[in-house]
Structure 1
Amino acid sequence: MSVQNGPNRQEPSYVPALGTLMVDTGHGNQVGEFRGIAGPYWSLRPVSGGAEWEAVPEQVRTPTRVELLTAEIARINVRSRRRLGS
Structure 2
Amino acid sequence: MADPDGTLPVGTLAYDTGRQRIGVVMEVYGSRYILRPVHGGCEWDVVREACRPATVGDQIAPGLAARNLRSSRGGL
**TM-score above 0.5:** yes
1:52 is displaced (CA, Å) by: 0.7
- Aligned Cα RMSD in Å? 2.0
Structure 1, unmatched stretches of 5+, are: 1-12, 74-86
Residue-pair matches, total:
59
Which has the larger strand fraction? Answer: 2
CA displacement at 1:15 relative to structure 2: 1.4
Alignment of 1:25-44 (within 5 A): 25-27=17-19, 29-44=20-35
- TM-score w.r.t. length of structure 2: 0.64
TM-score, L = length of structure 1: 0.58
Secondary structure, aligned partner of 2:57: helix
**Which secondary structure state, in structure 1, belongs to the residue aligned with residue 18 of structure 2?**
helix
Overall identity of the aligned pairs, in %: 34
- Structure 2 unpaired stretches of 5+: 64-76
